[in-house]
Structure formats: structure tokens, C-alpha cells
């Protein structure tokens, strides 16, 4: 998540620097579009992270149960 925040900050800095050099009416709209795109990507990353954590929890529980059954079999 920190990498995405760093990417967002870098992108904003780069875009703001280019806006300062070449004033254009469409630059503001492009910047807003880029910000919305990055926000959507961050939301998707958060959703994917939640799915990964759910699957990891399920696998951890399966491993725990397998260890219990393996100990009983000895």
C-alpha cells in the first residue's frame, strides 16, 4: 500500500511540474482523470489484498487442521 501512495505522490508531482511548465486548459482535466484512475487502482488493490488475506486464512486453517489430524494418526 505504501508503494501505491508513493506512486500516487510521484505521479502528482510529475503532473504538477508539467502543468507548471505548459499551461493548458486540458491539463487540469487530464490530471483529474489520472487521479481518478489511480484511486480506482488503489481500490482494486485493496480488494485484491482482502481476497488474498481471506485465502491465506483459509489455507492456514487447512494446514492447522492437517497438523492436528497428522498428530492423531501417529
| Interval 33-70: pLDDT, tens | 999 999 999 999 999 999 999 999 999 999 999 999 99
Is the separation of the CB atoms in 52 and 8 below 8 Å?
A: no
pLDDT 10s digits, 2-35: 777 777 778 877 777 665 555 677 888 899 999 9
Domain map (residue ranges) of the chain: 2-73
> Whole-prediction pTM value?
0.55
Strands (E), the chain: none
Cell of 65: 487442521
Amino acid at each position: 500500500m505504501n508503494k501505491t501512495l508513493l506512486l500516487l505522490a510521484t505521479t502528482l508531482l510529475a503532473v504538477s511540474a508539467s502543468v507548471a511548465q505548459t499551461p493548458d486548459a486540458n491539463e487540469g482535466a487530464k490530471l483529474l482523470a489520472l487521479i481518478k484512475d489511480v484511486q480506482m487502482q488503489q481500490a482494486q488493490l485493496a480488494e485484491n489484498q482482502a481476497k488474498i488475506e481471506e485465502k491465506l486464512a483459509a489455507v492456514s486453517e487447512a494446514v492447522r487442521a492437517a497438523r492436528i489430524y497428522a498428530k492423531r494418526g501417529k
